[in-house]
Structures are given as C-alpha cells and as structure tokens.
Chain A
C-alpha cells in the first residue's frame, strides 16, 4: 500500500513538472522580480546620447515610410503629389517633418562620432564628453538652420 502512495506521489510530481513545461519559459521568466536598473541609474551624457542615437534611428526608419510615400506620390501624378504637399503643410505634417529632420541630423552626427570611435580615436572620457557637447549643440544648431532654410 505504501508502494502505491509512493507511486501516486511520483505521478503527482511528474504532472507538476509537465504543467510547468507546458506554460513555457515565458511564464517562468515573467514571474521573476528584477532588480531596478533604469529607475536608479544616474542618467549621464554617454548613456543619453547613446539611447538618442537608437531612438532617432527608429524615428528615421518610421520616417522612411513617408519618404517612400513622397517619391511614390511624385511618380504617380501631379494631383497625388499635391495631396502629399497638403499633408506636409498641415500641423501634423510639419511636426513629423521637423522631428524627422532633427532625427536625421542627430543620427548623422552621432553616426560620425561612432565611426570615429570605430577607428580608435577619441575614446578617452574627456574626448567623449567634448564630442558629446559638440554633437548636442551641432545637432540643435543645424536643425534650426535647415528648418529656416526650407521655409
């Protein structure tokens, strides 16, 4: 009789394991608590500029849809192009255009900074912060300059 109990206990434990596996690794991962990281780490120029490079990259990738639509509307017909120009002149169009222009200029300058690092130059902390300030002011200045230039 005790052997049957052991056998039943064994089957019960096997059943538990199978159920855990059925729920999959995602279930086990999402139950774990994580230690705080973004909430407590002090934002620094290095990390902010780095994530801005990624964020502007995503913004450019989304804006690439509009670039495709732009050139496609020009290829379709003059009226289609005119519709696109009306969208571009609207408030939402201007916001998207400004955001895309800033993203382009920031990602461009930040990309050059990355290429410079890839060649090995300027990886000391002082140099990183100096090029970081040049990047910030350069991006803001060039965006405003080009924005005024296309008005």
Chain B
C-alpha cells in the first residue's frame, strides 16, 4: 500500500517582474548602471591624459602666448585636449548630478539643478572645444 506520495514542487525562479521588465533588466533606479559605468569609462582615458599633460607641464604653464598656442596647434595636443574636454566635463557633470540627487530633496529644485548642471557643463565643453579648434585652425 505505500501511501500516497506527495511531490512538493517549489518554483525557485519566482519573480514579480513582467517579461518586459525582465528583458530591460533595470532596477529601482530605472536606468541600470549607466550612470556608474559612464563615470568609470570617462575616468579611464582621463588617467592616461593626466600622465600625458604632466609630461608637458612646463609648456602648459608657460606665460608666453605664442609658445602656448604653438603647442596647442600641434595635432596630437589638440586631439588630447579635445578628448580631455569631452571626458572631463561629462565626468564632472555625472559627479555633480550624484551630489545634487544626494543633497537636494525638493523635487522641483532637484530637477532644475540637474538640468542647469548638464547645461553648464555642455556650454563649458562647447566653449573649450571651440577654443582648441580655433587655436589649431586659426592664425
């Protein structure tokens, strides 16, 4: 007679996420690790650019306008500076955005501050890249 065997099945892969949510793979911040990853990805070229600019320090800190513009006009230096401007201003923008979301609690002030932050760094980036190109291609 053996008795009735009851098979206990457990569903170990329970999730309340819909299929779309599972496909997107995002957590409660709704944007995944994009912010964190971009901060690291922009940091890595900045490390190498830091070493390069340190090696050129005596030219960068010169008081002579001609020496400085001749240095910037060289292709390798222009490219390094544009790369630096893009990475540094985006990295700074991400960092300031984290600080804003940490310390400003009013939703209106937070959103306006984040918009202002992105806008300011965008403007500074554009002015910097314009200046570098102007020196490279100008007189």
Interface residues of A (CB under 8 A from B): 26, 29, 54, 57-58, 60-61, 64-65, 67-68, 71-72, 74-75, 78, 81-82, 85, 104, 108, 111-112, 115, 118, 146, 149-150
Contacts and interface: CB of A to CB of B under 8 A. Distances in A.
B65 A82 contact: yes
Q: Which 10 A-B pairs have the closest CB atoms?
A: A75-B131, A78-B65, A75-B134, A61-B92, A81-B65, A71-B131, A68-B124, A72-B131, A150-B61, A57-B95
- Chain A interface, DSSP helix/strand/loop, else mixed: helix
B72 A74 contact: yes
A111 B43 contact: yes
Contacts of A108: 47, 50
Contacts of A64: 88-89, 92, 121, 124
A23 B134 CA distance: 53
A74 B58 contact: no
Given A26-B106, A60-B92, A74 B128 contact: no
A36 to B, nearest CB: 18
A72 B127 contact: yes
14 contacts: A57-B92, A57-B95, A57-B99, A60-B92, A64-B88, A68-B128, A72-B127, A74-B65, A74-B69, A74-B135, A75-B134, A78-B65, A81-B68, A150-B58
Interface string B70-101: 00100000000100000011001001100100
A111 B48 CA distance: 13
Contacts of B57: 146, 149-150
Contacts of A115: 40, 43-44
B130 A29 contact: no
A117 to B, nearest CB: 11
B17 interface: no
Nearest to A71: B131
A26 B107 CA distance: 10
A111 B121 CA distance: 20
A74 B63 contact: no
Contacts of A72: 127-128, 131
